[in-house]
Chains A and B, each alone.
Chain A
Amino acid sequence: MAANIGFLAIVVATLSSVWLIVEGYGAMRNPEPGGFQRLRGPVLGIVGGALVAMGALELAILTDDFSIEYVANNSASTTPFLFKIASGWAALEGSILLWALVLAGFVYSVYRQAAKRSDADGLGLGALFVLGIVSLFFFGVMLTVSNPFRVCIDPAVVGCFEAANLPWSGALAAAEGRGPNPLLQNHILMAVHPPMLYLGYVGMVVPFAFAMSALLRGESGSTWLKRTRVWTLVAWGFLTVGIVLGGLWSYEVLGWGGYWAWDPVENASFIPWLTATAFLHSSVVQERRGMLQAWNFVLIIATFALTILGTFLTRSGVIVSVHSFTQSAIGPVLLWFLMLVLVASFGLFAARIHLVASSPRLDSMASREGVFLFNNLLLTVFAVMVTVGTLYPMFTEAVTGDQVGVGRPFFDRMAIPLSFGLLLAMGLGPITPYRAAKGSVVWQRIRMPLQVALAATALAVVLGYRNRFLLIGTLLAVFVMGTIVRNLWTSARKAAGGWEISIPRAALRVMRNDTGYWGGQISHFGIALLALGIAISANLSVEAEVVLVPGGTATVAGYDLTYVEAFSREEPHRFVVGAEIEISRNGRVLGTEEPRLNRYGTSQQSIATPSVDESLTGDLYLSLKSINPERITLGVWWFPFIWLIWVGGLMAGAAVLWSRLVRKPKPLKERVPVSQGADDGG
């Protein structure tokens, strides 16, 4: 039943996509006020189809409908409720459905925005036409190579061997489902991280659609950028939060004591983040100074193409990593779609290059836009580097059959200097005036932050730290935070004098007066915290592997770890063994930790659940490597100040809220004229 409804909903959404393309094209060619009425039907068809399909899949999972292959192979009757919900997108077909659902949401929001306008909005109509094409692709994929509603025709005792694509093929239900991939049912973050990432990933389709619409219609200028600013920012925020939560998940679940491995799937989410970040900055340059018009088209096309590449890498099984669960026919299809996107959009761009080619030139490198260019250069090189490093082994193997390895040492070596350069730009850019900056002005604005940063770094040296990456990282991160705080302080002091209000109130007003600028600064502050967290935790962490017998004690990083006893328990969906470890420091007992190993259903693989004792000074991280009655092997890590990474990363992403939600305050009567605090930089 659920299979029939779900499949039918996808058919409706697919046909609605075709309808949207046809109507959208006509409306774009002859835009007239109220032209959006014609698109109401197809838009509602796409949204309704996607919602019903997702609902049907979730319902099938919750009611243990094992006649559907996806349910039989990715859920089980014993799977806890929350993980059942998450199963709806944890495997290939469901994740494509989630992609399409998020896409439908964006189609609807573009439609809503455009329908409110009174003019004949050709740009918005064209964007909906482009969105129709993308949406046709994803719903079409679900009808063919990645159908979440395939019905089981050859059930196994557990799970399903063979399935048919059409739901009326005489389904046979399996007795029990296989349950989710063990790695994915170990932590609640797995329910949150993918939707976040997809909201970010898919959101990039909106600026892309508007950019394509502008090119199709031969419109130059920055209208498409300004119209899509909301979506770009919101998508970027979700992407940022999604990546950080992915790192947190890896840290909390995988038990290898890290959060980022330069795994191809991690890279797949990080590369579009880099180009999207470059785009956020270069679009400001276009809006303010009219420069970089062509470059912004290149960046947004690249970003959208990279999200498709990322989906391909993650979902085709072309790379073997913890995220690639399955081999599927969807791989080649996604690759063809990627080619189509690249050829069509860059072809269109090349055909219309005369519209965008001329733009004002750079007055001086020593200017806000000069630093923006430097930032774009670094982010682009960063993206190129990660892309090459990720794809190179696959290419080499595909072409010559030889295997080459490119991994963490390569990425680290390249990423560290690039990140230092980005931090430098982040410190200098926001306080450098546009056009041409006077050295004395810039110097006055960075002197104090520089002294504070020097003091912090010198303190680190005096305390005995000599690690060069730590020292440079600290210097730059503190410098960035210092420039932001100084900028706010001076603006607030000036404003407080003018309005005769207290400095904290003035600071808040300054930040609310220009939410775009200050949202960016909050984000920068978060990135600086994150950089500091990485520099400290990566360079000062302590790692040890200890073997303990019951009652035995080992000391790591000043903590005494005593193995008290082993325990085991049977849960409906898993079998858990673990060790009780008492932690004490200087003879004082701090608590007990229980690192565990879990075995899910029929899976032979044991999944570790590390225990993390978090504190303000750092995390004591215990991961059980092996256990038997006589002894345990325990991986022990001490990560100082690692929480800075999570807090900083989430702050960077959530800063978007400041830009979008905070309202401008009502103007106060000025006693003394005050210049816009935030804008005194240019």
Chain B
Amino acid sequence: MAGDIRRTATWAITGVLAIVILVGFVQGDPEPEDRVARLGSAIKCPVCQGEAIIDSPSPTAEAMMDVLEEKVAAGETDGQIVDYFTARFGDGIYLDPPFAGRTLLVWLIPMAAVVGGFWMILSRRRVAVDEPAEAEPS
């Protein structure tokens, strides 16, 4: 009897914990997203060696960060801001490849690897697994 109560209590507590997490998860981050930080780390500093403008101490990167901050403050969309920079410094400057056009393959190849891998694993399964009841001794 005591065991039953303990088990029920454990499950109740576990359930409450799960609900708390679920609520927290659904609520999401209350703080507004830091668009400057996100875009700043997605735009490459054109004069540096593989650094994003948010990370680079170079004057060019600093100036670009200033422009970025102004544009975010002015309420421009991500697309507008990215277009502004790529028009000036080339497409290579935007480090977040779009799921389209020339960079489609970057996304598709890993996805194809997932599908191909699953297919290979599933095809290696013993067929007997799918017909269990008959093999079982009565």
Contacts and interface: CB of A to CB of B under 8 A. Distances in A.
Interface centre among A381, A457, A467, A625, by most chain B C-beta atoms within 10 angstroms, is: A381
Nearest to A467: B29
A319 B38 CA distance: 24
Contacts of A400: 102
A384 interface: yes
Contacts of B21: 454, 457-458, 461, 471, 475
Given A392-B105, A396-B102, A414 B55 contact: no
A608 to B, nearest CB: 7
A451 to B, nearest CB: 5
A380 interface: yes
Contacts of B10: 451
A359 to B, nearest CB: 9
Contacts of A471: 21, 24-25
Where chain B touches its partner, the secondary structure class is helix
Interface in B98-119: 102-103, 105-106, 109-110, 113-114, 117-118
Contacts of A455: 17
Interface residues of B, number: 50
A361 B57 contact: no
Contacts of A261: 50-52, 55
Nearest to A255: B57
Nearest to A625: B57
Interface in B7-51: 10, 13-14, 16-18, 20-21, 23-25, 27-30, 37-38, 41-42, 44, 49-51
Contact of B20 (A256, A364, A388, A461): A461
Interface string A546-582: 0000000000000000000000000000000000000
Interface in A372-413: 373-374, 377, 380-381, 384-385, 388-389, 392-393, 396-397, 400, 402-410
A389 B50 contact: no
Contact of B92 (A324, A405, A408): A405
Contacts of B42: 407-409
Contacts of B57: 255-256, 608, 625-626, 635
Nearest to A388: B109
A405 B97 contact: yes
Contacts, number: 154
B114 A392 contact: no
B50 A361 contact: no
B91 to A, nearest CB: 6
B6 interface: no
A462 interface: yes
A409 B52 CA distance: 11
A319 B28 CA distance: 39
Interface in B79-138: 90-97, 102-103, 105-106, 109-110, 113-114, 117-118, 121, 124-126, 129
A400 B102 CA distance: 10
B28 A466 contact: yes
Contacts of A458: 16-18, 20-21, 24
Interface string A245-258: 00000000001111
B14 A258 contact: no
Contact of B129 (A264, A364, A402): A364
Given A405-B44, A407-B42, A258 B55 contact: yes
A264 B95 contact: no
11 contacts: A255-B57, A261-B50, A320-B50, A322-B49, A377-B114, A380-B113, A396-B102, A404-B103, A451-B10, A457-B17, A460-B24
Interface of B: 10, 13-14, 16-18, 20-21, 23-25, 27-30, 37-38, 41-42, 44, 49-52, 55-57, 90-97, 102-103, 105-106, 109-110, 113-114, 117-118, 121, 124-126, 129
